[in-house]
């Protein structure tokens, strides 16, 4: 039975959309960039190597919590032993990636991005989606999107740790303080982008003041909400910049760790 | 400054219909509604179109122009290339009555399902006092002109007729948000009813409603997502639920 725009009673138009602009460009670009990131991140997470070059550590492997981590890479110690799966040593990245991955997967912006570009629900506004049924986020697994705030809290912890990593990068390979390299700037930029991404988050906005009914009774929270609301306007931009920032920081650390490039020191 | 405009206008009713080609003169500065009126006056005397203010404030002339939900009175002809044929159809999410006029009564039924503001008992008209910072969020939602373009573009009902029973749509999520953020409203089940009766969970926040809103209301960011977060507070966050039981937080807010 015909449904959607072809339902009985609606204007009889055979096309799924009459849009004449290039509506498919944006979801296509989103799809390509996200899929490229997913492939790269997966390869790197399973590589289990080339993630540490004193004092730089890749954001994919920080905090490095397993005894499988290379010496000096474990900021918080190694509470996990070496775990074997199918005869292979489990990469330390796989112990932690669920948190940043969960944060981005449940993010209100990324939801829009991948619902449109991957699931085509809808591919673009006023372009009929290909699915015959739709229940949105009312059932498992998508009802789990409501856990976003817990991933946000975890994301804040990661931001602190990656900021510490950036501060530790003000050392030279001999662990002496007072030095700064290109790698320091890369990790600093990465941590900064991640802070902007987290602080502009819709859950953050709700937490600092959005849930209130009376701002006038909570002037400090109103100010915080106003500030986060301004950042929230650019949440999409921060989402992309921070994603590319993480990938670039990882590429940079890998290149230094494999001696493909030298981490040039300013002082 | 006149230009010759090629149009395709959908004509028909709920049983049959199709796109008809028309060529018409357009003057500099004219909007699509002007052109439709010229076609009506010169070539299609019985062309049905709903319109009223011609100023983007009544929300009557909603239709789809080149596949995009828009107000015809706010769509400049000059925004389309000279060689482009402009296709005009009725809203595709609602039953068509005739030509460009659709039956939007779905929206009025949904509006009736949402209880209006409930003031504290004993408060008389003229007594309520609210500070500007407490009402400014709701004021954004009061800009809604009820053109129903957001409802038309929302894929939850546009692409799934069967969801109309259980889904109120973005226009009514901003209404619910407006009331839930109201500093004096005492009705406390708005979050629960938003989720369970009005289908807030069906929304997958793809932001098409925000994209088409002629009043530039940030429907998704300022109403739907805050309501989703409020629903999580009450329904899906065990820590918040526990906190509300211990400290009766809802009353404090």
Whether residue B109 sits in one domain with residue B97: no
Same domain, B121 and B62: no
Residue A158 and residue B236: Cα distance in Å, rounded? 24
Identify the CA nearest to B226 among candidates B155, B141, B158, B149: B141
Work out the number of other CB atoms within 10 angstroms of the CB of residue A85: 9
Q: How many angstroms separate the CA atoms of B184 and B130, rounded?
A: 8
Please give the DSSP secondary-structure letter assigned to residue B30: -
> What is the mean predicted confidence (pLDDT) over A229-235?
98
List the structure tokens of B172.
Answer: 């009514």
Q: B87 and B113 share a domain? A: no
Contact A41, A35 (CB under 8 A): no
Q: Is the dihedral of CA B27, B29, B32, B38 positive or negative?
A: negative
The DSSP bridge partners found for residue B3 are B26
In a domain, A106, yes or no: yes
**CATH number for the domain that contains residue B87:** 3.10.20.30
- Predicted confidence at residue B240, as pLDDT, reads 86
Q: Do A202 and B229 touch (CB under 8 A)?
A: yes
Residue of A nearest to B162 (CA): A3
How deeply is A259 buried, as exposed, middle or buried, from its count of CB atoms within 10 A (0-12, 13-18, 19+)?
exposed
| B127 reaches A (C-beta below 8 A) | no
- A117 within a domain of the structure (yes/no): yes
Picking from A7, A20, A213, the nearest residue to B67 by CB comes out as A20
Which DSSP state fits B21?
A: E
Flag if B205 and A111 touch (Cβ within 8 Å). Answer: yes
Q: Are residues B65 and B137 located together in one domain of the fold?
A: no
pLDDT in tens, chain B (253 residues): 588 999 999 999 999 999 999 999 999 999 999 999 999 999 999 999 999 999 999 999 999 999 999 999 999 999 999 999 999 999 999 999 999 999 999 999 999 999 999 999 999 989 999 999 999 999 999 999 999 999 999 999 999 999 999 999 999 999 999 999 999 999 989 999 999 999 999 999 999 999 999 999 999 999 999 999 999 999 999 998 888 788 765 544 4
Taking the CA atoms of residue B176, residue A140, residue A145 and residue B115 in that order, the dihedral angle to the nearest 10 degrees is 10
Query: Hey, what's the torsion of the CAs at B46, B51, B53, B59, to 10 degrees?
Result: 180
Domain match, B114 and B213 both: yes
Whether residue A8 has pLDDT greater than 90: yes
CATH code at position B236: 1.10.1060.10
| A212/B204 Cβ within 8 A | no
B106 close contact with A: CB closer than 8 A: no
In chain A, residues 177-216 whose CB comes closer than 8 Å to chain B: 202-203, 205-206, 210-216
Give the structural domain span for A160.
21-257
Q: Which residue of A has its CA nearest to B233?
A: A211
pTM (global) more than 0.90: yes
| Position A1 pLDDT exceeds 80 | no
Which among A73, A70, A71, A53 is positioned nearest to A261, based on CA atoms? A53
CA A183 distance to own-chain centroid: 20
Residue B31, both tokens? 């909007």
Q: Two tokens at A263?
A: 């981490």
The residues with which A36 forms a beta bridge, in sequence order, are none
Taking the Cβ of residue B56 and every Cβ of chain A, the question of whether any pair is shorter than 8 Å is answered with no
| Domains in chain B, number | 2
3-class secondary-structure state, position B181 = coil
Domains in chain A, number: 1
Cα A42 to Cα A38: distance, rounded to the nearest angstrom: 6
Do B43 and B154 sit in the same domain of this protein?
Answer: no
């Amino acid at each position: 039975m015909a449904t959607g725009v072809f339902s009985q009673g609606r204007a009889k138009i055979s096309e799924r959309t009459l849009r004449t602009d290039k509506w498919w460009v944006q979801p296509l670009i989103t799809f390509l960039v996200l899929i490229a990131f997913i492939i790269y991140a997966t390869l790197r997470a399973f590589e289990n190597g080339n993630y540490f070059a004193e004092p730089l550590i890749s954001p994919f492997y920080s905090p490095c919590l397993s005894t499988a981590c290379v010496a000096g890479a474990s900021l918080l110690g190694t509470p996990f032993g070496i775990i074997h799966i199918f005869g292979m040593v489990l990469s330390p990245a796989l112990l932690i990636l669920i948190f940043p991955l969960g944060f981005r997967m449940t993010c209100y912006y990324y939801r829009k991005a991948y619902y449109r570009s991957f699931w085509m629900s809808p591919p673009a506004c006023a372009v009929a989606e290909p699915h015959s049924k739709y229940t949105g986020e009312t059932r498992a697994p998508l009802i789990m999107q409501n856990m976003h705030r817990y991933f946000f809290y975890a994301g804040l912890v990661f931001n602190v740790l990656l900021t510490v990593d950036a501060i530790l990068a003000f050392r030279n390979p001999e662990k002496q303080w007072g030095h700064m390299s290109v790698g320091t700037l890369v990790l600093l930029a990465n941590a900064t982008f991640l802070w902007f991404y987290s602080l502009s988050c819709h859950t953050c906005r709700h937490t600092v003041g959005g849930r209130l009914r009376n701002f006038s009774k909570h002037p400090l929270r109103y100010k915080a909400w106003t500030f986060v609301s301004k950042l929230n306007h650019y949440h999409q931009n921060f989402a992309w910049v921070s994603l590319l920032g993480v990938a670039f920081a990882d590429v940079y650390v890998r290149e230094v760790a494999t001696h493909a490039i030298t981490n040039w020191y300013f002082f | 400054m006149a230009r010759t405009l090629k149009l395709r206008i959908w004509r028909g009713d709920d049983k049959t219909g199709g796109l008809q080609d028309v060529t018409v003169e357009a003057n500099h500065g004219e909007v699509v509604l002007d052109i439709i009126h010229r076609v009506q006056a010169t070539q299609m005397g019985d062309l049905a179109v709903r319109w009223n203010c011609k100023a983007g404030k009544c929300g009557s002339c909603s239709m789809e122009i080149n596949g995009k939900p828009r107000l015809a009175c706010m769509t400049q002809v000059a925004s389309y290339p000279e060689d482009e044929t402009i296709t005009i159809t009725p809203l595709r999410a609602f039953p068509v009555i005739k030509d460009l006029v659709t039956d939007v009564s779905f929206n009025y039924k949904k509006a009736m399902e949402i209880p209006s503001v409930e003031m504290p008992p004993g408060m008389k008209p003229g007594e309520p006092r609210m500070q500007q910072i407490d009402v400014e969020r709701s004021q954004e939602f009061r800009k809604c002109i009820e053109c129903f373009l957001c409802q038309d573009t929302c894929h939850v009902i546009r692409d799934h007729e069967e969801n109309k029973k259980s889904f109120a749509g973005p226009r009514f999520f901003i209404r619910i948000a407006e009331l839930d953020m109201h500093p004096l409203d005492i009705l406390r089940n708005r979050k629960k009813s938003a989720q369970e009766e009005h289908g807030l969970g069906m929304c997958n926040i793809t932001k098409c409603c925000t994209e088409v809103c002629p009043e530039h209301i940030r429907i998704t960011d300022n109403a739907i997502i805050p309501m989703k977060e409020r629903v999580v507070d009450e329904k899906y966050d065990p820590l918040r639920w526990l906190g509300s039981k211990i400290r009766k937080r809802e009353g404090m807010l």
